[in-house]
Structure 1
Amino acid sequence: MRTFEIITLGCKVNEYETRYYQEQLEKLGLIEIHRDSEDEFNSNSSNLNHSLNEKNERSESEADVVIINTCTVTNTAAAKSRKKIRKARKENPEAIVVIVGCYAQVVEPNIAEGLQADLILGSSHKSEFGAWIEKLMNQRGWMSDESNGIESKERKLHFEVSPIEDISDFDNMPIGHFEHQHRAFLKIQDGCNQYCAYCQIPLARGPERSQIPAEVIKTARSLTETGHLELVLTGIHTGRYSFRKTNLSMLLSMLLEETDENVTFRISSIEITEVTDELLDLMAQNPRILPHLHIPIQAGSDETLARMKRPYTVEQFKKRVSEIRKKVPDISISTDVITGFVQESDEEFAQTVKNLEEIGFSFLHVFPYSRRKGTAADKMSGFIDAAVAKKRTHELLKLSDQLRQNDMKRFKTSEILLERPENNHPDIMLGYTKQYHPAKVLHPVQTSGRIEVKILGIEDGVFICEEIQR
């Protein structure tokens, strides 16, 4: 029996696409093997799908097909992608190695040759993934009767990467199920037209494009019919969802109408300029849209924001956050922040710290600035020393811990969507609140789905809870 392994780096969009690749490989008769991975509650990973099942008996052996779903948002992410690719080849010398994701689109041909992959699949070819794997397996003789001994191990790099300017259509990548979890991702949008000064993603993902509403609804139904109770709407620029006359709020209204009343929806990330009154009214009126928004601010200084080419000032951001909280009082708002951006002075960073504290986010994702080829910032002068950026990052991570603690203290009870048992503690269940705070539930009677809990305390940014018996 042929096996496969998928290594996923990066964002929730990548996680959605990974599930599509998994299903395509399963249709070809391959069985997934898993290796040890970090627990979500001890890392920043958002993937709960780390459980093993009875099929994965070869977890310590080589895989026949290895997929690396890469990221290029920072130099560190790109370097980690290359490291994972080289490690995959070293550990699986005879495997078909495939590179997909954002790094696949921007990797330079001279570097691509040295990665020893069999296939590099760019952003406009993802829906061709299954056909390419079948083709490569046929070249190896794997799709025929294996008893005849035919197997070619000749390696040739197939470089299927088209210019990003050629991308115009949404790549339809429907999925049916996320194993071992009630929360599922639903990709509705791809690409970005914003071209922030620091960001390479428009060069890797291409222009904005959105999925047909009917296809979104079809995938949503498929996911809910297989037991998923929470759908996370994902995209590179989710708030810019637009298909003809349908915007994000209208799409959400359709999804609420077309799915079971027990199914809830979460928006993965949205820009402050895209949080419309229409969307807020829908959130306020319908508890099935969960009260959490992740709204990237990136900096808390107007001077820094202007160099970043972000389309708002700090005061505009603050004003809109205040309006959001008035409409949805129990909402939690988290954010992204970049430290050490080009020319960021001590004074600008101090402004950022002050404004982050005043806004009162529920937590921060913090990243030191990473120089990316092809971006506007790459041509600027005045780069910040890496040690300074690292120090600022640590300062904001400490602030994030305090902000999360402050936000969590608001709640005495909550509703939790249970996901799975804690590793080595099957009597403790892990899950998330509606506001996207992690939680541990001690000795619950119900071990899947949603439960009401009393909050006993907070430990290391995680709620400790007990189930409320009705």
Structure 2
Amino acid sequence: MIDQSVFKNRKVAFHTFGCKLNFSETSTVAATMMEAGFSKVSLTEKADVYVFNTCSVTELADKKCKQVIRKAIKQNPDAYIVVTGCFAQLKPEDVAHIEGVDLVLGSDEKFDILQYMHDGKKHETTEVFAGNIGKNKKFQPSFSFGDRTRCFLKVQDGCDYFCSYCTIPLARGRSRSDSVVNTVLQAKKAAKSGAKEIILTGVNIGDFGKGTDETFFDLIKALDKVEEIDRFRISSIEPNLLTDEIIEFVGQSKRFMPHFHIPLQSGCDKILTLMKRKYDTQLFKQRVEKVKSVMSNAFIGVDVITGVRGESDEDFETTYQFLDNLDITQLHVFTYSERPNTKALKIEGVVPIHVRKERSKKLHELSDQKTLAFYKQHVGTETEVLFEKSEHEGYMTGYTPNYLKSEIKYDSALVNQIAKVKLKHLTLNDMAMSVEMIKP
């Protein structure tokens, strides 16, 4: 056992890269360290320990991780540096070779961070603990806290899909989740911290309950009864797992918001096959049409990857036209990046980097057009906004049920409150709505 008294009154700073799931897990690690006596400070402050929870979804993500880590080491060379997360799991030796890093922890090991830190002081050598995540069957619950308004609740981890371009199963292991009962308890715990809205997160959340007699549908039905939470949002859910019953349930729910994020990755069936995805464009189109038939005002975000191996100009044009004709709100565009140990590396037809960037730019422009059109559709309507605490140039922001970013002059009485508003007009940046209060 570690004598935790050595950590008392020491300062720790955290930095999280990547997805919402990472943010929820960083909060859990932070809570463990604060219980041991650490005090939390921002990354810009001088800390005794720095913890970096990394992402490795693209090569650019790896580079960003290295840059931020090196900058922190340069600013405070005497600090104890811990690097964990997907980058640390996939490339532990690469991380260990960053001069100044003291401890490298894999995806599973980060939850026992204190057991690996010893006294948390610099040593001559870098220690690496990154086990075989594929053998891990344990689910570690977590949720983000700090922002009282919105909370990311981890409901599932890992993935069994092994798409040809993706390293997530290698970084996070096989699909696993907690029980419905325990997940509901986590939601109530988040509510006690002040959260009004919970975003359900995971790697493949529609796979919740795999290997048990429980399902994701069972989970959302149970969460819908949690009166302490005003709003729930479903984060990314695979189209083949987004069933009619889920869509119809959200449509009549008072707590689940009309907001979906559905990964497409390509609008060309040939490329979907090369990617080893579990659906085709026809099924995806049906999912979007079903959502819109039940909730005409629903926000639909879509993931798409461009420039993958084997994607010809014609294939890209097929994807572009498919997306252009879909009634969706926003694209989350990824420019393909070769990842080690993926089956995609065997696919012929490498797309030049400059072509990948051109295609990505076109999709970003299409996304902006669709998002702007969605916002304009709602000008003049009345709705509700959950306002957040951050202030920028005298204004505060929040989100409507269907995820329209809204802003109003700052009023501390509105922080973490749901207020009825009228959507007046788009702001200067065209991606937020200026609102006015509706008096009772």
Both structures adopt the same fold (TM-score exceeding 0.5): yes
Q: What is the DSSP-based 3-state SS (H/G/I as helix, E as strand, rest coil) of the residue aligned with 1:403?
A: helix
Give the secondary-structure state (helix, strand or coil) at the position aligned to 2:263: coil
Shift of 1:339: 1.2
Q: How does 1:400-411 map to 2 (within 5 A)?
A: 400-411=367-378
Tell me whether 1:469 sits opposite 2:439 in the alignment: yes
Q: How far apart are residue 436 of structure 1 and its match?
A: 1.8
Q: 2:219 aligns with which of 233, 251, 259?
A: 251
Distance in 2 separating the partners of 1:222 and 1:296: 30
Aligned-residue Cα RMSD (Å) equals 1.8
- Name stretches of at least 5 consecutive residues in structure 1 with no aligned partner: 36-58, 141-152
Identity score, percent: 35
Structure 2 vs 1, CA of residues 174 and 71 (structure 1 numbering), >3 Å: closer, same or farther? Answer: closer
How many residue pairs end up in the alignment?
426
Structure 2 residue 265 is the aligned partner of structure 1 residue 298: yes
Q: Is the Cα–Cα contact under 8 Å of residues 224 and 263 in structure 1 kept in the other structure?
A: no
Q: Classify the secondary structure of the residue corresponding to 1:265.
A: strand
Q: Residue 205 of structure 2 is aligned with which of 234, 238, 241?
A: 238
> 309, 314, 337: which is aligned to 1:342?
309
Equivalent residue, structure 2, for 1:414: 383
Correspondences of 1:165-184 after superposition (within 5 Å): 165-170=134-139, 172-175=140-143, 178-184=145-151
Mapping 1:165-314, distance limit 5 Å: 165-170=134-139, 172-175=140-143, 178-242=145-209, 244-257=212-225, 259-260=226-227, 262-314=229-281
1:241–1:248 Cα contact (<8 Å) kept:
yes
- Mapped contact 1:338–1:367 kept (Cα < 8 A): yes
Return the offset for 1:306.
1.5
Segments of 5+ residues of structure 2 without an aligned counterpart are 1-8
Residue deviations 1:276-320, cap 9 Å, x none? 122122212212101100001111111221111112221221122
Quick check: 1:442–1:464 contact (8 Å CA) kept in 2? no
Of residues 18, 22, 26, the one that matches 1:10 is 18
Alignment match, 1:103: 87
Are the structure 2 counterparts of residues 21 and 467 from structure 1 closer, same or farther at C-alpha, using a change threshold of 3 Å?
Answer: same
Report the CA distance between 1:378 and its aligned residue.
Answer: 1.4
Change over 3 Å in CA distance of 1:113–1:421 after alignment to 2: closer
Q: Would the alpha carbon gap of residues 385 and 199 (structure 1) be closer, same or farther in structure 2, given more than 3 Å must change?
A: same
Partner letter of residue 86 of structure 2?
C
Contact 1:264 1:288 in 2 (8 A): yes
Q: Deviations over 1:335-376 (max 9, x none)?
A: 111111112111111111111111121111111100001111
CA distance in 1, matches of 2:415, 2:11: 31
Contact 1:85–1:115 under 8 Å retained in 2:
no
Matched to 1:127, the amino acid is F
For residue 36 of structure 2, what is the amino acid of its counterpart?
L
Q: Tell me, yes or no, if the aligned pair for 1:442 and 1:467 is still in contact at 8 Å.
A: no
Alpha-carbon separation, structure 2, partners of 1:286 and 1:114: 49
- Which residue of the other structure, out of 54, 60, 74, is the alignment partner of 1:76? 60
Asked whether the equivalents of residues 387 and 415 of structure 2 are also in contact (C-alpha less than 8 Å), the reply is: yes
Partner of residue 389, structure 1: 356
Distance 2:114 2:246 in 1: 37
Tell whether the 8 Å contact from 1:318 to 1:359 is kept in structure 2 after alignment: yes
Question: 379, 393, 415: which is aligned to 1:424?
Answer: 393
